[in-house]
């Protein structure tokens, strides 16, 4: 007995869809810079502002996108919030991309 293949759907593979969402979340020079800076360890917003040379509201806006995408986590420490990468996998992607364009 032969089976009939199921008809193609317009829905992408869920894994590919999730990877696409991850890459969309990283699709900003400021967000790439944030991930690069956090690859060396956790930082406060004012440290990211200094390292990236952009305004505090802009850094906060991009951190919000990265938090929503679960790329970074935030931990309140006294009056400030310290941001860290959720895991190192994303840092490898970003650092490899930066190295690639520098070649």
Q: What mean pLDDT is reported for the chain?
A: 93
Per-residue CA distances from 59 to 29, 30, 55, 67 (Å): 11, 7, 6, 12
- Asked if residue 57 is part of any domain, the answer here is yes
Evaluate whether residue 70 is within a structural domain: yes
The per-residue pLDDT for range 15-65, each reduced to its tens digit, is 999 999 999 999 999 999 999 999 999 999 999 999 999 999 999 999 999
- Higher pLDDT among residues 12 and 52, named by residue: 52
Q: Is residue 67 part of a domain?
A: yes
Q: Is there a contact between 34 and 66 (Cβ–Cβ < 8 Å)? A: yes
Return the pLDDT at 3: 65
The answer, yes or no, to whether residue 83 has pLDDT greater than 80, is yes
Per the structure, how many domains does the chain have?
Answer: 1
Gyration radius (Cα) of the chain, Å: 18
* Within-domain flag for 93: yes
Identify any residues that bridge with 77 across adjacent strands, giving them in sequence order.
80
CATH number of 43's domain: 1.10.10.10
Asked whether the predicted pLDDT for residue 4 surpasses 80, the reply is no
C-beta separation of 71 from 35 below 8 A: yes
The answer to whether residue 65 is domain-embedded is yes
Give the pLDDT band (50/70/90) at residue 2.
low
pLDDT at 59: 98
Q: Indicate whether 4 belongs to any domain.
A: no
Answer whether residue 58 is part of any domain: yes
Structural domain range at position 31: 27-100
Give me the pLDDT at residue 28, please.
97
């Amino acid at each position: 007995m032969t089976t009939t293949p199921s008809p193609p759907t317009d829905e992408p593979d869920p894994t590919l869809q999730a990877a696409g969402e991850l890459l969309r979340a990283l699709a900003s020079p400021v967000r790439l810079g944030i991930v690069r800076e956090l690859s060396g360890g956790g930082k406060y917003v004012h440290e990211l502002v200094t390292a990236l040379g952009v305004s505090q509201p802009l850094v906060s806006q991009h951190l919000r996108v990265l938090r929503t995408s679960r790329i970074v986590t935030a931990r309140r420490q006294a009056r400030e919030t310290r941001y860290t990468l959720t895991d190192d996998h994303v840092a490898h992607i970003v650092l490899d991309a930066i190295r690639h364009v520098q070649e």
